[in-house]
Amino acid sequence: PEPEPSITVLYREQRRMAIRAAKTLLRSGKLSPTQKQRFIAYFFCGKSISEIARNEKTYRMKVWRGLRSITRLLQCGELVR
């Protein structure tokens, strides 16, 4: 069954806000080149933490911690204001 129109509108709005926040973060200058690369690989290209770590020849935990800190920046909302 198709979701209700109001639910569809909410999903679209949430997605739009998430993309806006991500773009703002990428342009903010708060991320290092490595963080930007990981952010794009994980959130936009859909690569796993293991794939990113393998490509960078580093530990998964290191990638995970970096992505977690980026996620916290996105969640705090200060970038979107």
Instruction: Return d(Cα 38, Cα 42) in angstroms, integer.
Output: 6
Overall average pLDDT of the 21-25 stretch: 85
The tokens describing 81, both together, are: 């204001």
Averaged confidence pLDDT in the chain: 86
Instruction: Return d(Cα 76, Cα 58) in angstroms, integer.
Output: 28
Exposed e or buried b per residue across 11-30, where buried means at least 16 C-beta atoms within 10 angstroms of its C-beta: eeeeeeeeeebbebbbeeee
Share of the chain above pLDDT 70, in %: 93
Asked if pLDDT for residue 67 goes beyond 70, the answer is yes
Asked if pLDDT for residue 81 goes beyond 50, the answer is no
